[in-house]
Amino acid sequence: RAEEPIELFNGRDLTGWTYYLHKSDLKLEDVWSVKNGVLSCKGKPTGYLLTKKGDFENYVLTLQWRWPEKGGNNGVLVHVTKPNELGVWPKCLEVQLASGEAGEFWGIRTTSGMPGIKKSPKDRRHLNLTDGSEKSLGEWNDFEITCHGDEITVKVNGTLVDQATKLSQSKGAIALQSEGTPVEYRNIRLRKLEK
Protein backbone atom coordinates (compact mmCIF):
# COMPACT_ATOMS: atom_id res chain seq x y z
CA ARG A 1 0.00 0.00 0.00
CA ALA A 2 1.33 3.45 -0.92
CA GLU A 3 0.97 6.70 0.99
CA GLU A 4 0.26 10.13 -0.49
CA PRO A 5 3.06 11.28 -2.82
CA ILE A 6 5.83 13.64 -1.74
CA GLU A 7 6.78 16.36 -4.25
CA LEU A 8 10.57 16.04 -4.48
CA PHE A 9 10.63 18.89 -7.03
CA ASN A 10 8.21 21.74 -6.29
CA GLY A 11 8.30 23.15 -9.84
CA ARG A 12 9.53 26.56 -8.65
CA ASP A 13 13.05 26.12 -7.28
CA LEU A 14 15.48 23.48 -6.00
CA THR A 15 14.43 23.45 -2.35
CA GLY A 16 15.43 20.08 -0.88
CA TRP A 17 18.24 19.49 -3.38
CA THR A 18 22.00 19.97 -3.39
CA TYR A 19 24.56 19.27 -6.12
CA TYR A 20 27.96 17.88 -6.98
CA LEU A 21 29.90 18.90 -10.10
CA HIS A 22 33.22 17.60 -11.43
CA LYS A 23 34.32 21.23 -11.76
CA SER A 24 33.98 22.48 -8.19
CA ASP A 25 34.27 26.17 -9.14
CA LEU A 26 30.87 26.14 -10.88
CA LYS A 27 27.58 27.02 -9.24
CA LEU A 28 24.34 25.06 -9.30
CA GLU A 29 22.71 27.53 -11.69
CA ASP A 30 25.55 27.04 -14.19
CA VAL A 31 24.06 23.60 -14.95
CA TRP A 32 20.54 23.38 -13.47
CA SER A 33 17.63 25.80 -13.86
CA VAL A 34 13.87 25.86 -13.24
CA LYS A 35 11.26 27.52 -15.44
CA ASN A 36 7.50 26.95 -15.80
CA GLY A 37 7.55 23.78 -13.70
CA VAL A 38 10.41 22.22 -15.69
CA LEU A 39 13.84 21.35 -14.31
CA SER A 40 16.47 21.78 -17.03
CA CYS A 41 19.98 20.35 -17.05
CA LYS A 42 22.62 21.59 -19.51
CA GLY A 43 24.38 18.20 -19.36
CA LYS A 44 27.85 19.67 -18.83
CA PRO A 45 29.96 19.50 -16.81
CA THR A 46 29.58 16.02 -15.38
CA GLY A 47 27.90 15.78 -12.00
CA TYR A 48 24.53 15.32 -10.35
CA LEU A 49 21.69 16.97 -8.49
CA LEU A 50 21.10 15.21 -5.15
CA THR A 51 18.26 15.15 -2.64
CA LYS A 52 19.32 16.56 0.73
CA LYS A 53 17.37 13.74 2.39
CA GLY A 54 19.56 10.67 2.17
CA ASP A 55 17.62 7.74 3.62
CA PHE A 56 14.81 7.02 1.17
CA GLU A 57 13.76 3.36 1.13
CA ASN A 58 10.66 1.40 0.12
CA TYR A 59 9.13 3.82 -2.36
CA VAL A 60 7.75 4.41 -5.84
CA LEU A 61 9.56 7.25 -7.63
CA THR A 62 7.75 8.75 -10.62
CA LEU A 63 8.95 11.49 -12.94
CA GLN A 64 8.79 12.66 -16.52
CA TRP A 65 11.78 13.39 -18.74
CA ARG A 66 12.47 14.47 -22.30
CA TRP A 67 15.36 15.35 -24.56
CA PRO A 68 14.75 18.97 -25.69
CA GLU A 69 17.42 19.01 -28.43
CA LYS A 70 18.89 15.59 -29.20
CA GLY A 71 19.05 12.20 -27.57
CA GLY A 72 21.97 11.36 -25.35
CA ASN A 73 23.05 9.93 -22.03
CA ASN A 74 21.80 10.57 -18.52
CA GLY A 75 20.33 8.69 -15.58
CA VAL A 76 18.44 8.63 -12.31
CA LEU A 77 20.52 7.39 -9.38
CA VAL A 78 18.85 5.55 -6.50
CA HIS A 79 20.23 4.37 -3.15
CA VAL A 80 22.97 7.00 -3.38
CA THR A 81 25.45 6.81 -0.51
CA LYS A 82 29.22 7.36 -0.64
CA PRO A 83 30.47 10.08 -3.06
CA ASN A 84 33.30 9.63 -5.59
CA GLU A 85 33.13 5.83 -5.69
CA LEU A 86 33.76 5.72 -9.46
CA GLY A 87 35.29 8.99 -10.56
CA VAL A 88 32.65 11.67 -10.09
CA TRP A 89 29.87 9.12 -9.47
CA PRO A 90 28.66 8.07 -6.01
CA LYS A 91 27.97 4.55 -4.81
CA CYS A 92 24.46 3.80 -6.13
CA LEU A 93 22.37 2.01 -8.71
CA GLU A 94 21.93 4.02 -11.92
CA VAL A 95 18.62 3.69 -13.72
CA GLN A 96 19.64 4.57 -17.26
CA LEU A 97 18.02 7.33 -19.32
CA ALA A 98 20.28 7.01 -22.38
CA SER A 99 18.28 7.23 -25.59
CA GLY A 100 16.99 3.79 -26.57
CA GLU A 101 18.19 2.25 -23.30
CA ALA A 102 15.95 3.88 -20.69
CA GLY A 103 15.49 1.66 -17.67
CA GLU A 104 18.71 -0.34 -17.94
CA PHE A 105 20.71 -0.62 -14.72
CA TRP A 106 24.33 0.26 -14.12
CA GLY A 107 25.78 -0.75 -10.77
CA ILE A 108 28.18 1.85 -9.43
CA ARG A 109 30.05 -0.13 -6.76
CA THR A 110 26.79 -1.96 -6.00
CA THR A 111 25.58 -5.43 -6.96
CA SER A 112 22.25 -7.14 -7.64
CA GLY A 113 20.71 -10.35 -8.90
CA MET A 114 18.47 -10.64 -11.95
CA PRO A 115 16.07 -13.60 -11.83
CA GLY A 116 14.04 -14.78 -14.77
CA ILE A 117 15.04 -12.22 -17.39
CA LYS A 118 15.90 -12.68 -21.06
CA LYS A 119 19.39 -11.17 -20.98
CA SER A 120 22.23 -11.59 -18.54
CA PRO A 121 24.24 -8.85 -16.84
CA LYS A 122 27.15 -7.60 -18.89
CA ASP A 123 29.85 -6.20 -16.64
CA ARG A 124 28.10 -3.53 -14.51
CA ARG A 125 25.30 -3.19 -17.08
CA HIS A 126 21.91 -4.89 -16.72
CA LEU A 127 20.15 -4.91 -20.08
CA ASN A 128 16.52 -3.98 -20.75
CA LEU A 129 13.74 -6.53 -21.03
CA THR A 130 12.19 -4.62 -23.94
CA ASP A 131 13.02 -2.13 -26.68
CA GLY A 132 10.91 0.68 -28.14
CA SER A 133 9.28 1.84 -24.89
CA GLU A 134 10.47 5.44 -25.23
CA LYS A 135 8.63 8.20 -27.08
CA SER A 136 10.06 10.31 -29.90
CA LEU A 137 12.67 12.96 -29.09
CA GLY A 138 11.08 16.08 -27.61
CA GLU A 139 8.12 14.20 -26.12
CA TRP A 140 7.68 13.63 -22.39
CA ASN A 141 8.31 10.10 -21.11
CA ASP A 142 6.96 8.59 -17.88
CA PHE A 143 9.39 6.86 -15.53
CA GLU A 144 8.26 4.68 -12.61
CA ILE A 145 10.94 3.22 -10.33
CA THR A 146 9.75 0.96 -7.51
CA CYS A 147 12.27 0.18 -4.77
CA HIS A 148 11.01 -2.30 -2.20
CA GLY A 149 13.42 -3.99 0.17
CA ASP A 150 16.27 -5.36 -1.95
CA GLU A 151 14.20 -5.34 -5.17
CA ILE A 152 13.73 -2.77 -7.92
CA THR A 153 11.43 -2.62 -10.95
CA VAL A 154 11.33 0.04 -13.65
CA LYS A 155 8.56 1.01 -16.05
CA VAL A 156 8.92 3.37 -19.02
CA ASN A 157 5.62 4.76 -20.32
CA GLY A 158 3.76 2.00 -18.48
CA THR A 159 5.88 -0.88 -19.82
CA LEU A 160 8.03 -3.00 -17.50
CA VAL A 161 11.57 -2.61 -18.85
CA ASP A 162 13.83 -3.94 -16.09
CA GLN A 163 13.90 -5.60 -12.69
CA ALA A 164 16.49 -6.83 -10.23
CA THR A 165 16.69 -8.36 -6.77
CA LYS A 166 19.31 -8.86 -4.07
CA LEU A 167 20.49 -5.25 -4.23
CA SER A 168 23.57 -4.75 -2.09
CA GLN A 169 22.10 -1.53 -0.69
CA SER A 170 18.44 -0.60 -0.44
CA LYS A 171 18.29 2.97 0.79
CA GLY A 172 19.93 6.32 0.23
CA ALA A 173 19.48 9.63 -1.55
CA ILE A 174 18.11 10.12 -5.08
CA ALA A 175 20.07 11.96 -7.76
CA LEU A 176 19.71 13.17 -11.36
CA GLN A 177 22.79 13.02 -13.55
CA SER A 178 24.40 15.69 -15.67
CA GLU A 179 26.19 13.49 -18.18
CA GLY A 180 26.76 15.23 -21.47
CA THR A 181 23.36 16.02 -23.02
CA PRO A 182 20.70 18.62 -22.15
CA VAL A 183 17.69 16.94 -20.50
CA GLU A 184 14.51 18.16 -18.83
CA TYR A 185 12.48 16.79 -15.91
CA ARG A 186 9.12 17.53 -14.31
CA ASN A 187 6.61 16.01 -11.85
CA ILE A 188 9.22 14.31 -9.65
CA ARG A 189 7.26 12.54 -6.92
CA LEU A 190 7.88 9.83 -4.35
CA ARG A 191 5.31 7.61 -2.64
CA LYS A 192 6.44 5.68 0.41
CA LEU A 193 5.61 1.99 0.60
CA GLU A 194 5.09 -0.16 3.65
CA LYS A 195 8.09 -2.33 4.52
Please report the sign of the dihedral spanned by the C-alpha atoms of residue 187, residue 178, residue 180, residue 83: negative
Alpha-carbon distance of 127 to 37, in angstroms, equals 32
- What's residue 118's pLDDT? 44
Q: How far apart are CA 187 and CA 168, in angstroms?
A: 29
- Output the tens digit of pLDDT for each of the chain's 195 residues: 557 899 999 999 999 999 998 777 888 899 999 999 999 999 998 999 999 999 999 999 999 999 998 999 999 999 999 999 998 999 999 999 988 889 888 888 887 766 544 444 445 555 666 676 899 999 999 999 999 999 999 999 999 999 888 889 999 999 999 998 999 999 999 999 987
pTM score of the predicted model: 0.91
Q: How far apart are the C-alpha atoms of 172 and 174, rounded to whole Å?
A: 7
What does DSSP assign to residue 29? G
